[in-house]
Amino acid sequence: MEAIRYLANQGMAFRGDDESYDSSNRGNFIELVKAFARMNVNIEKVVLQNAPLNAQYISNKIQKEILSIYSTKVRKRIRDEIGEDGKFCILVDEALDDSKKEQMAIIIRFVGCDGHIQERFFDIVSVHDTNSSTLKSDICKVLGKHNLLVSNMRGQGYDGASNMRGEWSGLQALFLKDCPYAYYIHCFAHRLQLALNGAAKEVGLVWRFFSMLNNIVNFVGASAKRHSELKLTRQAEIEELLAAGRLGTAKGANQIRCLQRPGSTRWGSHFNSIRSLIDLFGATKTLLTDISHNGPTSQFRGEAEALDPRDAFKRFNIDDICTLAEKFYPLDFTTTELHALNQQLGFYKIDMDRIQAFKNIDSIPILLERLIETKLAETYYLIDRLIRLVLTLPVSTATTERAFSYYQLGELNTRFPDGTVELLSLRSALDPRDAFKRFNIDDICTLAEKLYPLDFTTTELYALNQQLGFYKIDMDHIQAFKNIDSIPILLERLIETKLAETYYLIDRLIRLVLTLPVSTATTERAFSCMRLIKNRLRNKIGDEFLADCMLLQSERELAYNIDNESIIGDFNAVKTRRVQLI
């Protein structure tokens, strides 16, 4: 049983390729039992080939049976934490496993008796049909099996950014028919990601930046050789900076990192990707320049040259420049001058590539300064005139920021509909930050009356209004409630000070509000666990066995607290055994 507990908690395989007696490696489970036997003579006398009546209990059937008992007890503990009439929220997402089966992870979010928010992995179900009615039926089976009533559901959280967003929308509508107060919350992290991506695509400058960033990361990361060369270049750069005294030394400082790829559903990863390019900008530039000059093929040389992040003239195009002058500045250029401008541009590009003063220029204003310094502004007077006209346009960073903010606001309004905004707005009235600055009795009463009518009677709503007045006085005077910065901590303090009993209606409302999900990060972690367990070498693992293994690994703190005596009792009670475990 300890071997099963250990292997399940660590997400390790149980069986080996050859479990015969003569095998040098009989698999993790049997080898672990043998290790226990070597450490204790009394164990050695009764396990494996020394077991009485040859009742070794090492078959995969017995392993699954014991594992099932463990998982049943863990689920029962989760059910006990929720409580008989406890309110909960479901977080659901789907992903393909290594055997290409669609798996649906079910997470239960609730507030425990101690006031702590819990998001417990509950089950994973293989779904053959991903339409909304089938998903609802499978979820209801899991909930019903453990006596969790849909009528007690107070929230639903799905990943609306996935390819199943249509099915999720249908699923939340089906649950709302059964329980109209099981509010659907599309993962806020994914909403923000989609809003930022949508806004970025509308602003050409921002879009081009992230496109260039992604291309650089892909080009360097696609080859192990280029990856290694970047590390070596960065190492040489760090050594040079340290020798010149331009870098400090400390534990963990000056580590040789790599370019990071931005994630499609993790908005924070874009910041990390940008920061990695800033840290490795010099080494990346050196690598791309070297490949553009000495690459093995013309394709590699061309790709590296196109990705040079500081090539000021890479977008130079005579036709586009002439169109700019003709279309936008017809009063400043005659037909004759437009023809002369076309002629000047050809010679101008040759000089830009040849003259050292125009190397590594990264802005149009500096380009104009160099033209004046080298007296070439007189030679290319028409180009000089066009540059000056372009620089009079209000295309400053502030203008770009305003444009991005405009598009961002539009995306946020689309991604965060009025219902969600109202829920967040009313919920903020409970926020304890800044000495309960947002506290508003009317908003809190509206929150209870409008959004949770099944949880508060008319009499209780009146009593809630009365409690809130005394509650605010206590919050302002009791030291334990000073400098609280979140609603979860507020609930914990209410329980610690026994005020949760006095303000039991406020306690109830806070618990309902905290039941609502914010993100589906827990489901993503569940799928990370799934891929660890059901990997390429274990892709035939059964659905029930997979769910039990995932439960013990995801909720290992609950599994650790299950004593072996209770497992032995349940194991012996299943059926008559050849030898009873003791």
Write down the domain spans for the chain.
Answer: 83-191+518-542, 196-309, 318-398, 418-515
- Give me the CATH code for the 83-191+518-542 domain, please: 3.30.420.10
Place of tokens 């534990």: 251
Answer whether 442's CB lies under 8 Å from 468's CB: no
Q: Please state, in angstroms and rounded to a whole number, the distance separating the CA atoms of residues 352 and 364.
A: 13
Answer whether 528's CB lies under 8 Å from 504's CB: no
Answer whether 139's CB lies under 8 Å from 90's CB: yes
Q: Please state, in angstroms and rounded to a whole number, the distance separating the CA atoms of residues 582 and 572.
A: 9
Q: Identify the sign of the CA torsion 277, 283, 284, 286.
A: positive
Tokens of 197: 């991506």
Mean pLDDT by 10 residues, the chain (582 residues): 90 85 87 92 88 88 91 92 88 85 90 88 86 86 90 82 60 85 77 72 71 82 82 84 75 75 69 82 82 74 63 63 83 88 84 77 79 88 87 58 65 65 79 88 90 91 93 90 89 91 92 83 84 84 89 89 89 84 76
For residue 168, the model assigns a pLDDT of 64
For residue 162, the model assigns a pLDDT of 56
For residue 76, the model assigns a pLDDT of 92
For residue 228, the model assigns a pLDDT of 86
For residue 307, the model assigns a pLDDT of 63
